[in-house]
Amino acid sequence: MKARVHISLKNGVLDPQGKAIGLTLGNLGFEGVGEVRQGKLIELDLDEADAAAARKSVEAMCEKLLANTVIENYTIELDDN
Amino acid sequence: MKARVHISLKNGVLDPQGKAIGLTLGNLGFEGVGEVRQGKLIELDLDEADAAAARKSVEAMCEKLLANTVIENYTIELDDN
């Protein structure tokens, strides 16, 4: 089973990288771009076949290593294929 | 309209950051984790209300700035809300 973890900064946490992207898009001539936020995408190949067990395991990975839960939110997507 | 861009390394491109995450998960006692790949997630607020025009504009942003298309793939998700 494949898992995709999306990690993004919580609202209110400053995101200088996203701001730099937004400014550069403006400089390149892209108009109508408001806030830009940059996060992380982590794709994992798991041996686990049971979706509930896989989700629980990936949640533990996020809490322990993948996300800094003080400033980051994470969402987990599982893909059976 | 909100756009989310997922940027991930193409297959075959070395991903030392993903490898480090995979090794660390193993060291922390998580079993059955195969390949790990780390990518980027960029969230954009767009003024554009038309989905087709928004997608075209975000594709141009990816080609020009957001993704390095030599080594990275990107996918675009649009969210009307």
Name the residue of chain B whose CA is nearest to A33's CA. Answer: B46
Determine, for residues B24 and A57 on separate chains, whether the beta-carbon distance falls below 8 Å.
no
Model pLDDT for residues A28-52, shown as the tens digit of each residue: 999 999 999 999 999 999 999 999 9
Model pLDDT for residues B40-73, shown as the tens digit of each residue: 999 999 999 999 999 999 999 999 999 999 999 9
Determine, for residues A65 and B24 on separate chains, whether the beta-carbon distance falls below 8 Å.
yes
Determine, for residues A45 and B28 on separate chains, whether the beta-carbon distance falls below 8 Å.
no
Q: Which of B31, B34, B41 is the closest to A41 by Cβ?
A: B41
Residue A81 has pLDDT above 80, yes or no: no
Determine, for residues B40 and A41 on separate chains, whether the beta-carbon distance falls below 8 Å.
yes
pLDDT band (50, 70, 90) for residue B80: confident
pTM value? Answer: 0.90
- Tell me the C-alpha to C-alpha distance, in Å, between residue B16 and each of A35, B20, B36: 30, 6, 10
Domains and CATH numbers, chain B: 2-79 (3.30.1280.10)
Closest-CA distance, B33 to chain A, in angstroms, reads: 5
Q: How far is the C-alpha of A15 from the C-alpha of A11, rounded, in Å?
A: 10
| A12 in reach of chain B (CB within 8 A) | no
pLDDT band (50, 70, 90) for residue B4: very high
Coil, helix or strand for B33?
Answer: strand
